[in-house]
Structure formats: structure tokens, C-alpha cells
Structure 1
């Protein structure tokens, strides 16, 4: 009878919240630089995030990439934010398995484009 009671208690107990390991960036990556990733144990209940933000000022365009842990409420969110004189449009994508936010950033444009960013943001 005790085995049946243990089984019943196990089935009725709430599921344990498992902490994921996700990649996080040391700093958000500015295209064409890639995110310097390292694994991080997320707080229980959080998911792995891959975020992409595109900033535009005239013909100048900058793309930022970020990886981290995030609450589920921020998954699938898109929006806009104005900062550093640029209007950024961002998209958040989440996944729920260990280190699933590993996808690399798109192919790199020439390195000299990254060197122009400090000059343009100083406007």
C-alpha cells in the first residue's frame, strides 16, 4: 500500500522547475562583431533569449545581438526604442532547452563598418 501512496503523491505534486543553461553575451554584439558567449545558469522558470535590434539613422544601419536568460513574458516580443540617436526595432526569440540560443549571427560585413559606429553615434 505504501508504494501506491508514494506513486499517488508523486503524480499529484507540482512539477519541479528546472533551471536552464543558456548562452549570455559578455557585451551585446555590434555587427559585424560576434557575441562573446559563455554558458550561464538561469534562474528557475526563465528561458534562453536571442535578441536582435536594428538601429537606423538615415542611411546608416547598426545591428545589435544579445543572448541571455529571460522571463517567458518577454518572449516573442517585438518593439521599438530610441537610444543613442538611433531608432531601434528589436525582436526577442526564446527557446527552452539547454544552450539552445547558440545560433550564430549572420555573415560578417567588412571590419571597417564596426569602426565607423563610434563616429556616427557621436553625432
Structure 2
């Protein structure tokens, strides 16, 4: 009985674990620098950085997304067809606070697009 009481007292003094904090994008964006907001993730989630390259002929657009993700979304890559474009995407996750900041130098630089064109592509 005294061992159980001692265990309960010890468990009561364990400090709570702070949630993982990650950068997020409000919507897919053409530059990772637009993802300046942060969010606390749910227990068991990791920070996600995702990049999708869409092409149709010579037309090319690169979209970035950041946020919290369940582990089954981590390490995924593949292809999708959306808005008349063939997208190749890849997801990368990490497990420390704000680790999905990303260095834009390691990513391909997207061609210049007007914000209106990007909005149209995202909404289609």
C-alpha cells in the first residue's frame, strides 16, 4: 500500500509535457517565408513541411504548406492531378519546436506568379 501511495505522489509531481510548436501556412503558398504563424500540435503529431510542384506543358508552379501532421502523413510523396495541373508532392516531418522553418535555399525557387494567379490555382 505504501508503494502505491509513493508512486501516486511521484506521478503527481511529473511536470506536464509542453506541446510541440510548428510553423503553419493559412493556405498553400508560393514561398515558405509566408508561413509565419505558429500552432501547438496535438499529442503525437509532428511538424510538417510539404512541397508540391505542378506542371502542365511549360507552365510550372511550386506550392508550399506547413503545419502539424499525424505520423502517417510523414515521408509521403506521390502525384496528384488538380486544377488542370499534374502535381508531384513530398512531405517531410520533424519533432522539435519550430523545426519546419525550412531553408528556402534547399528548395527550388518558384517562378514569379502574381498573387491573383496563385489564388485562382489554389481555389480551383
| Partner in structure 1 of residue 53 of structure 2 | 54
Structure 1 stretch displaced more, 87-96 or 33-42: 33-42
| Partner in structure 1 of residue 64 of structure 2 | 65
Give the structure with the larger helix fraction: 2
Counterpart Cα distance in 2 of 1:116 and 1:22: 25
Task: Report how far residue 34 of structure 1 moved.
Answer: 3.3
Give the paired residue count: 112
RMSD over aligned CA atoms reads 3.2
State the TM-score, normalizing by the size of structure 2: 0.73
Task: Report how far residue 19 of structure 1 moved.
Answer: 2.4
Counterpart Cα distance in 2 of 1:88 and 1:101: 21
State the TM-score, normalizing by the size of structure 1: 0.74
Distance 1:70 1:109, change over 3 A: closer
Counterpart Cα distance in 1 of 2:21 and 2:104: 20
Q: Does the CA contact (< 8 Å) of 2:35 and 2:66 recur in 1?
A: no
Q: How does 1:30-109 map to 2 (within 5 A)?
A: 30-31=30-31, 34-106=33-105
Task: Report how far residue 115 of structure 1 moved.
Answer: 2.0
Counterpart Cα distance in 2 of 1:103 and 1:83: 25
